[in-house]
Amino acid sequence: MTTGTVHLEQATKRYGALAAVNSVDLEIEAGALLLMAGSNGAGKSTLLRLLAGLIRPTQGRVLVNGQPPHSSLESRAEIGLLSHKTLLYDTLTARENLLFYGRLYGLENRRETAEAALANVGMSARADTPVGTLSRGMKQRLALARATLHRPGLLLLDEPFEGLDRRASQALSQRLTDLRARGETTVVVVTHRVDEVVDLVDRVAVLERGRLCCDSAWRGGGLEELQALCDSHQEGV
Protein backbone atom coordinates (compact mmCIF):
# COMPACT_ATOMS: atom_id res chain seq x y z
CA MET A 1 0.00 0.00 0.00
CA THR A 2 1.30 3.40 -0.87
CA THR A 3 1.48 5.86 1.96
CA GLY A 4 -1.38 8.29 1.75
CA THR A 5 -1.08 11.89 0.77
CA VAL A 6 -4.09 14.02 1.42
CA HIS A 7 -5.19 17.00 -0.60
CA LEU A 8 -8.31 18.97 0.17
CA GLU A 9 -9.32 21.80 -2.07
CA GLN A 10 -12.19 24.06 -1.03
CA ALA A 11 -13.86 20.97 0.34
CA THR A 12 -17.39 21.74 1.42
CA LYS A 13 -20.17 19.56 2.72
CA ARG A 14 -23.60 21.00 3.12
CA TYR A 15 -26.61 19.52 4.79
CA GLY A 16 -29.45 21.67 3.63
CA ALA A 17 -28.40 25.22 4.39
CA LEU A 18 -25.84 24.23 6.98
CA ALA A 19 -22.24 23.84 5.87
CA ALA A 20 -20.74 21.25 8.19
CA VAL A 21 -17.43 21.62 6.42
CA ASN A 22 -16.80 24.87 4.66
CA SER A 23 -14.17 25.56 2.02
CA VAL A 24 -11.36 23.66 3.65
CA ASP A 25 -7.94 23.64 2.01
CA LEU A 26 -5.54 21.17 3.50
CA GLU A 27 -2.43 19.27 2.52
CA ILE A 28 -1.00 16.38 4.46
CA GLU A 29 2.27 14.84 3.39
CA ALA A 30 2.88 11.14 3.46
CA GLY A 31 3.67 9.59 6.77
CA ALA A 32 2.68 12.59 8.84
CA LEU A 33 0.36 12.56 11.84
CA LEU A 34 -2.18 15.36 11.87
CA LEU A 35 -4.11 16.28 14.96
CA MET A 36 -7.49 17.74 14.20
CA ALA A 37 -8.92 19.82 17.00
CA GLY A 38 -11.93 22.00 17.47
CA SER A 39 -14.98 22.29 19.62
CA ASN A 40 -17.88 19.88 19.39
CA GLY A 41 -19.88 20.30 16.25
CA ALA A 42 -17.04 22.04 14.46
CA GLY A 43 -17.19 19.53 11.64
CA LYS A 44 -14.25 17.28 12.50
CA SER A 45 -16.15 14.03 12.14
CA THR A 46 -17.66 15.19 8.88
CA LEU A 47 -14.24 16.05 7.54
CA LEU A 48 -12.97 12.65 8.56
CA ARG A 49 -15.85 10.97 6.78
CA LEU A 50 -15.08 13.02 3.69
CA LEU A 51 -11.51 11.76 3.84
CA ALA A 52 -12.77 8.21 4.25
CA GLY A 53 -14.98 8.54 1.20
CA LEU A 54 -18.09 7.65 3.18
CA ILE A 55 -19.64 10.94 2.16
CA ARG A 56 -18.99 13.07 -0.88
CA PRO A 57 -18.23 16.76 -0.89
CA THR A 58 -20.98 19.09 -2.05
CA GLN A 59 -18.29 21.30 -3.52
CA GLY A 60 -14.55 21.18 -3.87
CA ARG A 61 -12.30 18.18 -4.00
CA VAL A 62 -11.08 15.55 -1.62
CA LEU A 63 -8.12 13.56 -2.86
CA VAL A 64 -6.21 10.74 -1.26
CA ASN A 65 -3.14 9.71 -3.23
CA GLY A 66 -4.45 11.87 -5.99
CA GLN A 67 -7.85 10.27 -6.27
CA PRO A 68 -11.19 10.68 -4.56
CA PRO A 69 -11.26 8.00 -1.86
CA HIS A 70 -14.47 6.40 -3.03
CA SER A 71 -13.67 6.42 -6.71
CA SER A 72 -12.46 2.89 -7.13
CA LEU A 73 -12.13 -0.31 -5.19
CA GLU A 74 -8.38 0.14 -5.04
CA SER A 75 -8.60 3.61 -3.65
CA ARG A 76 -10.94 2.35 -0.95
CA ALA A 77 -8.37 -0.16 0.12
CA GLU A 78 -6.04 2.71 1.00
CA ILE A 79 -8.23 3.89 3.83
CA GLY A 80 -8.54 2.61 7.37
CA LEU A 81 -11.04 3.99 9.86
CA LEU A 82 -11.15 3.73 13.62
CA SER A 83 -14.02 5.49 15.28
CA HIS A 84 -15.57 5.35 18.70
CA LYS A 85 -17.84 2.66 17.35
CA THR A 86 -15.93 -0.55 16.93
CA LEU A 87 -17.19 -1.61 13.47
CA LEU A 88 -16.99 -5.18 14.71
CA TYR A 89 -19.61 -7.91 14.85
CA ASP A 90 -20.43 -8.64 18.47
CA THR A 91 -21.59 -12.18 17.90
CA LEU A 92 -18.45 -13.26 16.08
CA THR A 93 -15.13 -13.96 17.73
CA ALA A 94 -12.13 -11.69 17.39
CA ARG A 95 -10.48 -14.03 14.96
CA GLU A 96 -13.61 -14.44 12.86
CA ASN A 97 -13.99 -10.69 12.61
CA LEU A 98 -10.45 -10.27 11.37
CA LEU A 99 -10.75 -13.16 8.97
CA PHE A 100 -13.92 -11.66 7.55
CA TYR A 101 -12.32 -8.29 6.96
CA GLY A 102 -9.23 -10.00 5.60
CA ARG A 103 -11.32 -11.77 3.03
CA LEU A 104 -13.25 -8.63 2.23
CA TYR A 105 -10.02 -6.78 1.50
CA GLY A 106 -8.76 -9.66 -0.57
CA LEU A 107 -5.68 -10.19 1.54
CA GLU A 108 -3.43 -13.07 0.71
CA ASN A 109 -2.36 -15.15 3.66
CA ARG A 110 -5.17 -13.74 5.65
CA ARG A 111 -4.89 -16.34 8.36
CA GLU A 112 -1.31 -15.40 9.09
CA THR A 113 -2.07 -11.73 8.80
CA ALA A 114 -4.97 -12.07 11.19
CA GLU A 115 -2.88 -13.99 13.71
CA ALA A 116 -0.09 -11.45 13.48
CA ALA A 117 -2.54 -8.60 13.95
CA LEU A 118 -4.03 -10.28 16.99
CA ALA A 119 -0.59 -10.77 18.47
CA ASN A 120 0.31 -7.21 17.68
CA VAL A 121 -2.50 -5.82 19.78
CA GLY A 122 -2.09 -8.43 22.46
CA MET A 123 -5.35 -10.20 21.75
CA SER A 124 -4.11 -13.64 20.85
CA ALA A 125 -5.31 -15.15 24.07
CA ARG A 126 -8.82 -13.85 23.50
CA ALA A 127 -9.01 -14.66 19.83
CA ASP A 128 -11.90 -17.04 20.25
CA THR A 129 -14.11 -14.97 22.46
CA PRO A 130 -17.13 -13.22 20.98
CA VAL A 131 -16.37 -9.55 20.61
CA GLY A 132 -19.47 -8.55 22.52
CA THR A 133 -18.01 -9.95 25.73
CA LEU A 134 -14.74 -8.04 25.57
CA SER A 135 -14.01 -4.94 27.56
CA ARG A 136 -14.06 -1.56 25.91
CA GLY A 137 -10.28 -1.34 25.88
CA MET A 138 -9.89 -4.71 24.23
CA LYS A 139 -12.55 -3.92 21.68
CA GLN A 140 -10.76 -0.75 20.74
CA ARG A 141 -7.44 -2.57 20.36
CA LEU A 142 -9.15 -5.12 18.17
CA ALA A 143 -10.77 -2.32 16.20
CA LEU A 144 -7.32 -0.90 15.58
CA ALA A 145 -6.20 -4.31 14.35
CA ARG A 146 -9.17 -4.35 12.02
CA ALA A 147 -8.47 -0.86 10.76
CA THR A 148 -4.83 -1.58 10.01
CA LEU A 149 -5.20 -5.15 8.79
CA HIS A 150 -4.90 -4.23 5.16
CA ARG A 151 -2.05 -1.81 5.77
CA PRO A 152 -3.88 1.32 4.65
CA GLY A 153 -1.92 4.30 3.45
CA LEU A 154 -4.23 6.62 5.36
CA LEU A 155 -5.50 5.87 8.83
CA LEU A 156 -8.33 7.95 10.23
CA LEU A 157 -9.05 7.97 13.93
CA ASP A 158 -12.22 9.56 15.26
CA GLU A 159 -12.10 9.98 19.06
CA PRO A 160 -10.27 6.69 19.51
CA PHE A 161 -9.61 7.24 23.20
CA GLU A 162 -13.22 7.81 24.13
CA GLY A 163 -14.36 5.56 26.93
CA LEU A 164 -10.92 4.12 27.55
CA ASP A 165 -9.30 4.11 30.95
CA ARG A 166 -5.74 5.19 31.58
CA ARG A 167 -4.18 1.82 30.87
CA ALA A 168 -6.15 1.15 27.74
CA SER A 169 -5.40 4.63 26.44
CA GLN A 170 -1.74 4.11 26.97
CA ALA A 171 -1.89 0.77 25.19
CA LEU A 172 -3.60 2.38 22.21
CA SER A 173 -1.10 5.21 22.27
CA GLN A 174 1.71 2.72 22.19
CA ARG A 175 0.26 1.02 19.14
CA LEU A 176 0.02 4.38 17.41
CA THR A 177 3.63 5.12 18.25
CA ASP A 178 4.70 1.80 16.73
CA LEU A 179 2.64 2.49 13.66
CA ARG A 180 4.10 5.88 13.20
CA ALA A 181 7.64 4.64 13.75
CA ARG A 182 7.23 2.40 10.73
CA GLY A 183 6.42 5.47 8.68
CA GLU A 184 4.19 3.69 6.23
CA THR A 185 0.98 5.34 7.22
CA THR A 186 -0.40 8.85 7.22
CA VAL A 187 -2.56 9.37 10.26
CA VAL A 188 -5.30 11.87 10.96
CA VAL A 189 -6.49 11.92 14.55
CA VAL A 190 -9.51 13.68 15.93
CA THR A 191 -9.37 13.71 19.70
CA HIS A 192 -9.73 15.85 22.79
CA ARG A 193 -7.20 13.70 24.59
CA VAL A 194 -4.27 15.73 23.43
CA ASP A 195 -2.08 14.29 26.15
CA GLU A 196 -2.10 10.89 24.48
CA VAL A 197 -0.77 12.07 21.16
CA VAL A 198 1.42 15.01 22.07
CA ASP A 199 4.61 13.15 21.22
CA LEU A 200 3.35 11.94 17.88
CA VAL A 201 1.96 15.06 16.30
CA ASP A 202 3.50 16.56 13.17
CA ARG A 203 0.74 18.97 12.22
CA VAL A 204 -2.16 20.57 13.94
CA ALA A 205 -5.34 21.71 12.26
CA VAL A 206 -8.17 23.42 14.09
CA LEU A 207 -11.70 23.53 12.77
CA GLU A 208 -14.22 26.05 13.91
CA ARG A 209 -17.77 25.89 12.61
CA GLY A 210 -16.67 24.01 9.54
CA ARG A 211 -13.85 26.33 8.64
CA LEU A 212 -10.18 25.67 9.02
CA CYS A 213 -8.84 28.41 11.21
CA CYS A 214 -5.44 27.09 12.04
CA ASP A 215 -3.11 24.79 10.22
CA SER A 216 0.49 24.61 11.29
CA ALA A 217 3.35 22.26 11.73
CA TRP A 218 4.21 21.17 15.21
CA ARG A 219 7.83 21.02 15.99
CA GLY A 220 7.55 19.37 19.32
CA GLY A 221 6.84 21.03 22.58
CA GLY A 222 5.00 20.58 25.79
CA LEU A 223 1.49 19.48 26.38
CA GLU A 224 0.35 22.91 27.52
CA GLU A 225 1.49 24.57 24.32
CA LEU A 226 -0.40 22.11 22.20
CA GLN A 227 -3.46 22.44 24.34
CA ALA A 228 -3.28 26.22 24.18
CA LEU A 229 -2.95 26.16 20.41
CA CYS A 230 -6.07 24.06 20.14
CA ASP A 231 -8.04 26.09 22.64
CA SER A 232 -7.06 29.49 21.38
CA HIS A 233 -9.43 29.23 18.46
CA GLN A 234 -12.39 28.10 20.41
CA GLU A 235 -13.35 31.40 21.92
CA GLY A 236 -14.72 32.57 18.60
CA VAL A 237 -12.80 35.59 17.49
Closest distance to other proteins from the beta carbon of 78 (Å): 10
Q: ∠ at Cα 201 (155, 177), nearest 5°?
A: 65
Out of 83, 113, 140, 185, which residue is the one contacting other proteins (CB under 8 A)?
83
Smallest CA-to-CA distance from 215 within 197, 228, 230 is with 230
Contact between 128 and other proteins (CB under 8 A)? no
Contact between 1 and other proteins (CB under 8 A)? no
Smallest CA-to-CA distance from 107 within 55, 158, 47, 151 is with 151
Strand partners, 236: none
Out of 3, 5, 22, 86, which residue is the one contacting other proteins (CB under 8 A)?
86
Please state the separation of Cα 210 from the chain's center in Å. Answer: 19
Out of 105, 116, 124, 193, which residue is the one contacting other proteins (CB under 8 A)?
105
Strands (E), 71-202: 79-82, 154-158, 186-190
Note whether 188 and 34 are within 8 A (CB).
yes
Contact between 231 and other proteins (CB under 8 A)? no
> What binding mask, one character per residue, do residues 172-211 give for other proteins by CB under 8 A, x or -?
----------------------------------------
Contact between 54 and other proteins (CB under 8 A)? yes
Out of 92, 116, 213, 214, which residue is the one contacting other proteins (CB under 8 A)?
92
Closest distance to other proteins from the beta carbon of 56 (Å): 7
Closest distance to other proteins from the beta carbon of 194 (Å): 23
Which helix H or strand E contains 118, and what residues bound it?
A: helix 110-120
Residues 6 or more apart in contact with residue 51 via CB below 8 angstroms: 6, 8, 62, 64, 69, 79, 154, 156, 188
Smallest CA-to-CA distance from 205 within 8, 58, 62 is with 8
Binding piece for other proteins, criterion CB under 8 A, among 27-35, 79-87, 186-194, 219-227 = 79-87
User: Interface with other proteins by CB under 8 A: which residues?
Assistant: 15-18, 52-56, 73-74, 76-77, 79, 81, 83, 85-92, 96, 100-101, 103-106, 130, 146, 236
